[in-house]
Amino acid sequence: MPLDPGVARPYRAAMLAYAVKRLISLAISLLVASAVIFAVVEIAPGDPARFMLGINAQPDTVAALRAELGLDVPKWQRYLNWLGGMITGDFGTSYTYRTPVAQMVADRLWVSLPLALYALTLSTAIAFPAALIAAARRGRGPDVAVMGATQLGVAVPNFWFAMLLVLLFAINLGWFSAGGFPGWSDPLAALKALTLPAIALALPQAAILARVMRSSLIDVLGEDFIRTARAKGLSMRQALWRHGVRNALIPVLTILGLQFAFLLAGAIIIEQVFYLPGLGRLIFQAITQRDLVVVESVVMLLVFAVIMVNFAVDLAYAAVDPRLRRRA
Amino acid sequence: MTRLASSFWRKSPGAREGQRRSPPSPDTGAALLELDDLSVAIAGKPVLRKVRLAIAPGEIVALTGESGSGKSMTALAAMGLLPPGARTEGAIRLAGRDLITLGDRALCAVRGAEIGMIFQEPMTALNPVQRIGDQVAETIRIHAPRTPRAEVLSQAARTLARVGLPAERVPPTRYPHELSGGQRQRVGIAMAIALRPRMLIADEPTTALDVTTQARILGLLRRLVQEDGMALMMITHDLAVVADMADRIAVMNEGRIVEEAPTTRLFREMRHPYTRALFEASRHRASLPPRPAGEPLLQVHDAYRSYALPRTRLLGSAPRHEAVRGVSFDIGLGERVGLVGESGCGKSTLTRAILGLEPLQRGSITLDGRDVATDPAARRRMQVVFQDPYGSFNPRHRVRRLITEPFHLLDDPPKGAARDDAVAEALEAVGLDPSVADRTIHAFSGGQRQRLAIARALIIRPDLLIFDEAVSALDVRVRARILDLVADLSTRFGLAYLFISHDLSVVRGITDRVMVMQAGEIVERGPTDAVFDAPRHAYTQTLMAAAPRLPEIGQDEPVA
């Protein structure tokens, strides 16, 4: 059906105004976050130059290194240099490895980002059908089974799942390798290496997602418009599919956004279990080695990712629910 | 457009004659829907007891009664949409076929195609995230999945045009939240009649609507029944709504049909005392001894309030909605004033402003000379009773705590025995036993809750009470008793009140003076009887004409 121009124009304008407002608040959030991150990392005790050269270093050697690392200028200027560098893609040089941070982060991102997306896809693929079945058969066998399983999924930590998966699929069955990452030169092998970690990450997330979606669906099923749909001749299942799911999606989107942000950085333990060179391990190492430039840059990158994900979730709300498009 | 749509649709009833699966059996006569000793129990509790009712094609049968009488359950039973766990006995025959014996798949084929249903709440009955055209189209598509999409959508558009939503004014691409209440109810009707069902069930279709909208929706239903030869089962708590519309009326009480007769005869004879009680309560007027207005108490001077609307352009100022546009009036000590108007006229904004909850952009509101927005002393002398008594009470607190809430307005609230005395006195004033003070709110019926709300308002002995649609959600008999209570309290305590309602008949019986509000302005004001008997403003006249009226009792013909 063609969109009526009289309706569409104010609608698109409202949607655009909404997006612009979200973008402005996004930029402000990023600026505030960068200042906070810089301040916190600067306050942390320990001089990186001294740390790198060891305790027996000569003061003039330390001073020379400080100058080389750009640590000798006033703090506000270092903040501006750091900020300007990040905008132009120059994340500085790692104190420890003496390589550009941008390159290090990019390498790790090629592991962490696919892993997060993989886990998110899996958790959605598990959670949605489980929630639909549970909501449709509320209080009966399938619902009880799903609720029991999700209880377990929420309660058991993901590294425990990871160990079980390694035991079963890597050691006993030998279908997957127990750890390591072969790189993306062979995409299939790379995917295979990410499969067990992704499952381990996805299971607890799927449990939470399924519970949220189930209760959201049950709320929606009690709505008047579901009764209207039944009066039109839809079966319960059709009413659930055609009218329930989209209306139940708002709280689910919120959870999905939070989970994606967590998956990007929160996979430290899983990366450790599977020996994956991901962002989580990078930041962990950088902290223990007082590699401030790397810490600052990775944390800033993660903040950026979280804010972008939230922005995407905000836009998704408006796409799902036409009523929100007005709330510019 | 409407005419074109009708001529297209005219083809199908003839075509359907051939489709009838079974001819009506001889003993059902001409009845299309026949309920035969229908009994329903939910969780062992009977909700319908041996209901017998027959509706013929082209006939309008009204089902009336108070809440819990079983009228909605009768409708849901006929649709096969009873809540899970319901046990049904008897028979529900549609054109001779017993629907009780059908499985869910067969029932799905009947619903929407042979029986359509319209629900009470147009705000919630539509899916908020789907376009109205798609929602109407769904009725068609679900019963004929192979119809091409373009064909389905144009059928949906024609149906919308037929119920008064032509595409050039209200495009099918609109979402429900962009429509008014009346327009949404039209969408609900379009969904129900899209396939020209032979049977239409309307459950309180106009209860949530303004009087003028109600009149138009009732007119539409009548026209559709005539054009399609549909049978209509119309469920309503308001006898006046169906008085000049229904062919027959069935009165329900506690799951039974206590009286059923052609409309004229029912109003003439009223054989059952329950019918008579309902009728009397519907047109009840509290006895209100005349009282001269005292010194001005509440003074509203040039009150103005507007709101920013969502932007329609990226740059430039947002448009504004002027909710209250320079309203002025006084209420004297002990004076009883009514405020009527339709939804969106600014009543609620004005009420909030009087309560000091809404800042004005211009003008002033004072109570005994004190500004209501800033001076807590003014708030102390004024209390409010809202429409939904349940929603305005914290369900976890006991009555004692609930009704003493306004004490926080006092500098020196009574304590100990004095506090208990105040609670007992307030409860007795509204006709409740003081011993209920230790119960929680769920133990009370709707009418009792409204009494508690009034007790809460009275406890700090205000000079002015504001009743905001305070009796709109109550059954007619309960409403009559609450109105008597309000009149009695005003006589005993010399209370002044502002009675806000969309229901003209209620305001008439309980006020000395009335004001009619439209689009943020008071368009007419005067002594209540004068305004009702001889409305001068065109809008007041429209309101009066649209209000449904009960026939005079004992008269041979109902007002037609």
Phi, psi of B106 (to 5 degrees): -65, -35
Judge whether B230 and B57 are in contact, CB under 8 Å.
yes
Task: Spell out the residues 6+ positions from residue A80 whose beta carbon is closer than 8 angstroms to its own.
Answer: none
* Interface probe, candidates B311, B315, B321, chain A, greatest A C-beta count within 10 A: B311
Q: How far apart are CA B324 and CA B334, in angstroms?
A: 25
Residues B64 and B139 placed together within one structural domain of the fold = yes
Indicate whether A58 pLDDT > 70.
yes
In a 3-state reduction of DSSP, which class is residue B534? coil
B439 and B503 housed in the same domain: yes
CA distance B122 to B91: 31
Q: Name the residue of chain B whose CA is nearest to A240's CA.
A: B127
Q: Are strands B115-118 and B513-518 parallel, antiparallel or unpaired?
A: unpaired
pLDDT at A18: 75
Q: Give the span between the Cα atoms of A55 and A62, in whole angstroms.
A: 10
d(CA B299, CA B370): 10
Residues B488, B267 contacting (CB under 8 angstroms): no
Residue partners of B72: CB distance under 8 A and separation at least 6: B203, B204, B235
Q: Which domain holds residue B264?
A: 57-80+103-282
**What secondary structure, in 3-state letters, does B91-148 show?**
EEEECCEEHHHCCHHHHHHHECCCEEEECCCCCCCCCCCCCHHHHHHHHHHHHCCCCC
| Strand partners for B497 | B336, B465
Quote the pLDDT of residue B15: 39
Residues of B with Cβ-Cβ distance to A3 under 8 angstroms: 173
Q: Confirm whether B267 is domain-assigned.
A: yes
User: Is beta strand B86-94 parallel, antiparallel or unpaired with respect to B33-42?
Assistant: antiparallel
Q: What is the pLDDT of residues B296-311, one digit of tens each?
A: 899 999 999 998 876 6
Distance from CA of A252 to the nearest CA of B (A): 16
Select from B111, B133, B143 the Cβ nearest to the Cβ of A230.
B111
Average pLDDT over residues B5-28: 38
**Residue B549, Cβ density class (10 Å: 0-12 exposed, 13-18 middle, ≥19 buried):** middle
B430: pLDDT strictly greater than 50: yes
The answer to whether the Cβ–Cβ distance between A1 and B173 falls below 8 Å is yes
Residue range B315-330: mean pLDDT, rounded = 84
Q: Rounded mean pLDDT of A227-232?
A: 93
A69-87 in b/e burial notation, b at 16+ Cβ within 10 A?
Answer: bebeeeeeebbeebeebbe
Distance (Å) from the C-alpha of residue B395 to the closest C-alpha of chain A?
21
Cβ <8 Å between B112 and A6: no
Q: CA B514, B515, B521 angle in degrees (round to 5)?
A: 180
A24 at the B interface (CB within 8 A)? Answer: no
Strand-pairing partners, residue B514, are B338, B526
**pLDDT, tens digit, 9 for 90 and up, residues B137-169:** 999 999 998 889 999 999 999 999 999 999 988
B81, B125, B172: residue with CB nearest A1: B172
Query: Please, are residues B91 and B37 in contact by the beta-carbon 8 Å criterion?
Result: yes
Q: How far apart are CA B244 and CA B223, in angstroms?
A: 14
pLDDT classification of B557: cutoffs 50, 70, 90: very low
Same domain, B123 and B245: yes
* pLDDT score for B50: 93
- Residues in A closer than 8 angstroms to B188, CB to CB, are 228
Average pLDDT of B109-116? 93
The predicted structure's pLDDT at residue A77: 83
pLDDT (tens digit, 9 = 90+) per residue, A9-55?
Answer: 456 666 777 788 888 888 898 889 888 888 877 776 667 677 677 77
Single out the residue in B282, B307, B326 at which a domain terminates. Answer: B282
**Chain A residues closer than 8 Å to B72 by CB:** none
B312 and A238 within 8 Å at the Cβ level: the answer is: no
Residue B13 lies in a domain: no
Q: How confident is the model at residue B6 (pLDDT cuts 50, 70, 90)?
A: very low
Buried-state track A240-251, b at ≥16 Cβ within 10 A, e below 16: bebbbbbbbbbe
Same domain membership, residue B341 and residue B227: no
Whether A231 sits inside 8 A of B192 (CB atoms) is yes
Nearest CA in chain B to A3: B173
CA distances from A145 to A124, A135, A139, A151, A188 (A): 18, 12, 10, 10, 34
Interface of A with B in 287-316 (CB under 8 A): none
Residues A245-254: what's their mean pLDDT? 88
Q: Is residue B132 part of a domain?
A: yes
Per-residue pLDDT tens digits for B178-206: 888 889 999 999 999 999 999 999 999 98
A262 HSE (CA, 13 A, CB side): 14
- In the prediction, which pLDDT does A23 show? 85
Evaluate if residue B8 carries a pLDDT over 60. no
Residue B165 resides in a domain = yes
Give the tens place of pLDDT for each residue, B69-95: 899 999 999 999 988 888 999 999 999
Task: Single out the residue in B267, B282, B297 at which a domain terminates.
Answer: B282
Q: Do A227 and B119 touch (CB under 8 A)?
A: yes
According to the model, what pLDDT value does residue B16 have?
38
Distance from CA of A261 to the nearest CA of B (A): 27
Chain B residues in contact with A8 (beta carbon < 8 A): 173
Q: State which amino acid sits at residue B77.
A: A
Looking at the structure, tell me whether residues B406 and B265 fall in a common domain.
Answer: no
Is A43 an 8 Å CB contact of chain B? no
Distance in angstroms (rounded) separating the CA atoms of residues B367 and B353: 12
Task: Look at B177 and A323 and tell me if their CB atoms are within 8 Å.
Answer: yes
B471-500 pLDDT per residue, tens: 887 888 888 888 998 898 888 888 999 999
Nearest CA in chain B to A320: B129
Q: What is the pLDDT of residues B333-391, one digit of tens each?
A: 989 999 998 888 888 899 999 998 888 999 999 998 899 888 888 888 899 998 876 77
Apex B228 CA angle, B225 and B230, nearest 5? 55
Retrieve residue B26's tokens.
């001889």
Q: What percent of chain A shows pLDDT beyond 90?
A: 14
Q: Are B500 and B339 in contact (CB under 8 A)?
A: yes
Instruction: Lay out the sheet containing B370-371: strands in order across.
Output: B320-332, B296-308, B362-367, B370-371
Q: Name the β-bridge partners of B253.
A: B256
Cα–Cα dist A213/A249, whole Å = 7
Superfamily of chain region A103-326: MetI-like (1.10.3720.10)
On the 0-12 / 13-18 / 19+ scale of CB atoms within 10 A, B201 is buried
More confident position, B246 or B23: B246
Band (pLDDT 50/70/90 cuts) for residue B313 is: low
pLDDT tier at A231 (50, 70, 90 boundaries)?
very high
Considering its fold, how many domains does chain B have in total? 2
Q: What is the pLDDT of residue A41?
A: 75
> Which chain B residues have a beta carbon less than 8 Å from that of A241?
none
- Chain B stretch 72-91, residues whose beta carbon is closer than 8 A to a beta carbon of chain A: 79, 81
Contact yes or no for B524/B535 (Cβ under 8 A): yes
- The CATH number assigned to the domain holding B219 equals 3.40.50.300
Same domain (yes/no): B401, B267: no
Residue B548 has pLDDT above 70, yes or no: yes
* 3-state class (DSSP) for residue B170: coil
Q: Is residue B176 part of a domain?
A: yes
The pLDDT of residue A153: 86
pLDDT confidence of A306, banded at 50, 70, 90? confident
Residue B107 forms part of a structural domain: yes
Half-sphere exposure of B194 (CA within 13 A, CB side): 32
Comparing CA positions, the residue from A79, A37, A25 lying closest to residue A302 is A37
- Nearest Cβ partner of A14 from B108, B177, B310? B310
Could you tell me which of A325, A306, A298, A303 has the C-alpha nearest to residue A256? Answer: A306
Predicted pLDDT of residue A122: 93
Within 10 angstroms of residue B395's Cβ, the number of other Cβ atoms is 10
Please report, for chain A, the start and end positions of each structural domain, with discontinuous segments joined by +. 5-87, 103-326
Instruction: Give the least confident one: A43-57, A124-138, B416-430, B475-489.
Output: A43-57
**Same structural domain for residues B131 and B229?**
yes
Element (H, E) at B88: strand B86-94
What is the predicted pLDDT for the residue at B261? 93
Distance CA B65, CA B42 (A): 20
Q: Is the pLDDT of residue B315 over 70?
A: no
- Please indicate, yes or no, whether residues B269 and B387 belong to a single structural domain of this protein: no
Q: How far is CA A157 from CA A13, A108, A118, A176, in A?
A: 46, 24, 19, 21
